[in-house]
Structure 1
Amino acid sequence: MAKILCIDDEPILRLITSDYLGDMGHEVLEASSGAEGLTLFRRYRPDIVLSDLRMPDGDGFLVVTHLAEEAPETPVVIISGTGTLDDAVKTMRLGAWDYLSKPLKDMPLLGQTVERMLNKARERRNASQYLLNLESRVNELEHELQSWSSSHKDTVLRLEAALKTSIGSLNLALREKDPYTAGHNERVARISVDIGIALGLGEQEQEVLMLAGLLHDIGKIGVPESILNKRIALSPDELEEIRSHVTCGYRILCNIPFDGPVAELVLQHHERYDGSGYPKGLAGEGILLEARILAVADVYEALCSDRPYRAGLNPVDAASYVFKNAGTHFCPKCVDAFRQIIF
């Protein structure tokens, strides 16, 4: 059973919604305006909020804006009979999780939407807790390593080995969660190092590239399996979940004392040379060279691999894609080095 806050200035609509959701076993709180709804939310902390868009004394935009800041983990569904397409897009950008149109003639649709949003919120909480546990363990190992480093060399070596084992365990956990990426990280690492050698990088830079290649998708641990293994096109929300893996990976790795910018390379490996990538829209030389190398290796290897939604390309066609996108998606000099090692 969930606690649901229904915000609507029409009493009859609140009554119909409350009766239906109550029959499903949920507890329903009612508010007649955005301002009243926010007050009830802060007092009772419901699991999900259903809000009308046009209301006196605080509209749905107010509700979405405040809750996106105060409780981003709480689903907010806008239900409106007067909103336009632009309004719907605006509410989603502000932080709404879904948008339904009135009149709600199909009440089961409302029930299904509520259950879907509750499940989505639960998946996000579980993923966040899992990441917190992983980050806590990595931080513990780092703290132990730093505490003993000055006077216990043998202990430091053992702790470094334990840290590498933990990183290997993270990679194994990702392989178990997303079998379609099994071997992908290793192949990306090898291709990246080969490109780095062609570009004249030294042994330390090659080691950094190897580690970043092995760990570049580690943030996918925080992405629900239902999205990772989906066999049809992703929705905009699901695409954002996938894209979050770079920042998630950075959070996992940023406090580990690597001998190089491994965490930064993981964060930047989906940036594009023309600035159209993510998460920061970096461009050109503003992207670390090793991250530009990773981008080439990652896309080429992904194109060659079978995925849930498509079969892999042959290596010639995959390489042709990389060549054609030099200067837009990829750094030209990295593509030139890739050309030297691939054929």
Structure 2
Amino acid sequence: MTRTARALWFTAAGECEVRPVALPEPGPDEVLVRTLHTGVSRGTESLVLRGGVPAGQRAVMRAPFQDGDFPWPVKYGYLNVGVVERGPLLGRTVFCLYPHQTHYVVPAAAVTPVPDAVPAGRAVLAGTVETAVNALWDARPLVGDRVAVVGGGMVGCCVAALLARFPGVRLQLVDADPARAAVAAALGVGFASPDEAAGDCDLVVHASASEEGLARSLELLAPEGRVVELSWYGDRPVAVALGESFHSRRLRLVGSQVGVVARPDRTHAERMALALELLADPAFDALITGASRFEDLPSVLPRLASGALPALCHRVDYGAGHVPA
């Protein structure tokens, strides 16, 4: 008998719905996972919801277990924590780069066990912390560096949380929203508005996804300093100020993207396992700023995308009793 699960599909600009999805029987090297929580990656999922993935980047932007093609209809997402109900790792809580869906079957190699020290509800941040780990491998901060993280969204806050562990670093989280000051304090990081941010930085990590944020990032650099660009703008053109003193001060602008592991001596699996280990720090709980039921996601996601419902990571809870039909 074919079993069915329920999944969220992006169906048109600003619209999504829950649809039934057929579940295959797991093979000998596959697992059946019952979802406990997913996380909404607000920036990327908002872009997908509005149909903003450029035609030339649609292959690159595919999520690992995406169904459908951009722009719509598409089943999209990549922050999923669940319990293995059949197959290897039976009974283990695992993280997978899977969309918003009640149950799913994937190769056992596609899931990563969640360490016992990491609550399942916090583990939804693993994909974002993995992005932050890769960014720091690209950035290569040094002891004593003067650093700013411009943009206090999910990615920026995860980068700041990891940088706070570096000894001797002068670190500020820079954001136009004063409400981000409380999050910065919970992470043990200084906070500043863009106008008040300390300059003369050796390194700026930019994650605001705004042209203004990128311009300010370049302004904050000391000579020979570098900006690591984490923002992805989709189909929006962005002007970069490369005149004035950009060349004379020998500034550098470096792109970082999680699709490629930034260290040749590490694999994707090792990077993900490291991200989950780092989530043992309860400070990361400050990044989960809202929660709702899976059944409510079709109405919640458009509000998150529009900004009507503010959030860093919005967690989706699936409940303990749902079973595949």
The interval holding the TM-score normalised by the smaller chain is: under 0.3
TM-score w.r.t. the length of structure 1 is 0.26
Query: Higher relative contact order by CA 8 Å / sep ≥ 6: 1 or 2?
Result: 2
Q: Which has the higher helix share?
A: 1
TM-score w.r.t. the length of structure 2 is 0.27
Q: Which has the higher strand share?
A: 2
